[in-house]
Chains A and B, each alone.
Chain A
Amino acid sequence: AQSVTQPDIHITVSEGASLELRCNYSYGATPYLFWYVQSPGQGLQLLLKYFSGDTLVQGIKGFEAEFKRSQSSFNLRKPSVHWSDAAEYFCAVGPPNTGNQFYFGTGTSLTVIP
């Protein structure tokens, strides 16, 4: 069965520190992979996506993610966190070639302290 695991429910980092949010998935084939960010009371905004090719993908707001097939992981990273990055982050996988029916992880809540 398809599933997405975000093992860290909540992470706190200091402003300016580096960040890594973990995501592991279980899927029958290599899916499409996504990271979304949700600010309180808002919808989801796409940070980055992976379909194929280069396994290191760059996104908006200085985020990047690396697809590791051997580990079934798609971890999100940022070298220096800003206070405005505080939000909920969701990893999602989608079936290749059939649309945007995603499986979402349960999310990681990020707190940034000054």
Chain B
Amino acid sequence: NAGVMQNPRHLVRRRGQEARLRCSPMKGHSHVYWYRQLPEEGLKFMVYLQKENIIDESGMPKERFSAEFPKEGPSILRIQQVVRGDSAAYFCASSQGQVRTEAFFGQGTRLTVV
């Protein structure tokens, strides 16, 4: 059973371009969480999705950021018109259920905006 798979592992974008980060949860997991880790900081919760639904997006910036978790395929975190401040490591986690179930983290995507 493969773990949480994130791709790409490293992504370089110029200012103004779009970044698409993919997360394939563990088999059997229908809950996905996205976190952002800025340099020298802890992880910050961004969004929680369950298949085809956004459950909690309280940590998402109001503009340029969006997330989806379609019925088929991976979860996508999309950042439009990237700026230097978007440079960070983005981690995805998945869990089988909502409550009292362990969240497994992927290895992250390191986004660099140049």
Contacts and interface: CB of A to CB of B under 8 A. Distances in A.
Interface in A1-52: 4, 6, 32, 36, 41-46, 49, 51
A8 B105 CA distance: 24
Contacts of B91: 43-44
Interface residues of B, number: 29
A106 interface: yes
Contact of B107 (A41, A100, A102, A105): A41
B89 to A, nearest CB: 9
A99 B99 contact: yes
Q: How large is the interface on A (under 10, 10 to 19, 20 to 34, 35 or more residues)?
A: 20 to 34
Interface of B: 4, 31, 33, 35, 40-45, 48, 55-56, 58-59, 91, 93, 95, 98-108
The 9 A-B residue pairs with the shortest CB-CB distance, nearest first, are A104-B42, A43-B105, A100-B103, A44-B105, A104-B43, A106-B42, A43-B107, A99-B98, A101-B45
